[in-house]
Structure 1
Amino acid sequence: MKALIQRVSQAQVMVGDECTGRIGAGILLLLGVERNDDPAAADKLLSKVLGYRIFGDEDGKMNLNLPQSGGGLLVVSQFTLVADTRKGLRPGFSSGASPALGEQLYDYFVQQARQRHPEVACGRFGADMKVTLTNDGPVTFLLES
């Protein structure tokens, strides 16, 4: 399981004319699920996301995690994160989870995030989404379970 996290001052996701999720300052998380992932991988990755220190303290150093910063979490499914791009000019998706497993683990990740963090918004699995954000820094990290 992979998560591309971006520290943002704001982010939102639209499906057609509907805003399915919006946060102010916090983390925009693009989530990719691989075929061998399971709930334990999701739990491990969520703990890493919530504990990762990417927010500035009173001295401006990245010493605070998401709960300490009081920011929101916007989770968006992103199957292209698990693409194999090592060879050729076309991505391969053989390591990606099936749509059924991907949706199951995405839903599980969001459910667990909502139990552990007060502000969680999300996109819609499998939908054509438009994501807008203001990357703060810019600060972007790729985390893996």
Structure 2
Amino acid sequence: MRTVIQRVTKASVTVNGEKISAIDSGFLILVGIENADAQDDIDWLTNKIANLRIFNDEDGIMNKSLVDVNGDVIVVSQFTLHASTKKGNRPSYIKAARPDVAIPLFEAFVATLESKLGKKVGTGEFGADMKVELLNDGPVTIMIDTKDKE
């Protein structure tokens, strides 16, 4: 499971002209799911995300977590995070999980993150043509891949 976590002052997702998710301060998280991903990846990753200390404290030092600042979250599924560009100029997405595997894992990721945060998490719409807007705060952008957890 691969994520791109962006600290934002605001973010939203629009599908077919309708805004389906919007937040103020928090994280916009792009999630790419592989066939080999499982619940233990979700547990490790959601714990890491909830406790990632990338918000400023009173001294302007990145020392506070999403939990500490009561930040909001939007999670967007993005299979293109698993693009392989090794050969040629057209990316291959062979590592990305098909919808029958990815959708249940995405839903489990969102539910687990909601449980850890104690609040609702906004989402995009799986497989839809989404327009994602964000105001990156900092900018602060962190990539985390569960394949690197050990």
Q: Same fold (TM over 0.5)?
A: yes
Cα distance in 1 between the residues matched to 2:51 and 2:85: 29
Match of 1:91 in 2: 91
- Any gaps of 5 or more consecutive residues in structure 1? none
Matched, 1:120 2:121: yes
Match of 1:67 in 2: 67
Q: Is the 8 A contact 2:53 2:66 kept in 1?
A: yes
Measure how far apart 1:139 and its partner are: 0.6
Match of 1:76 in 2: 76
Question: SS of 1:88's equivalent?
Answer: coil
Cα distance in 1 between the residues matched to 2:81 and 2:73: 18
Measure how far apart 1:2 and its partner are: 0.6
Q: 2:7 corresponds to which letter in structure 1?
A: R
Q: Is the 8 A contact 2:51 2:65 kept in 1?
A: yes
Cα distance in 1 between the residues matched to 2:82 and 2:109: 17
Cα distance in 1 between the residues matched to 2:91 and 2:51: 31
Q: 1:12 corresponds to which letter in structure 2?
A: S
Question: SS of 2:59's equivalent?
Answer: coil
Question: SS of 2:122's equivalent?
Answer: strand
Equivalent pairs, count? 145
Q: What RMSD over aligned residues (CA atoms) do the two structures have, in Å? A: 1.0
Moved more, 82-91 or 62-71: 82-91
Match of 1:106 in 2: 106
Cα distance in 1 between the residues matched to 2:41 and 2:139: 27
- Kindly, what percent of the aligned residue pairs are identical? 44
- Any gaps of 5 or more consecutive residues in structure 2? none
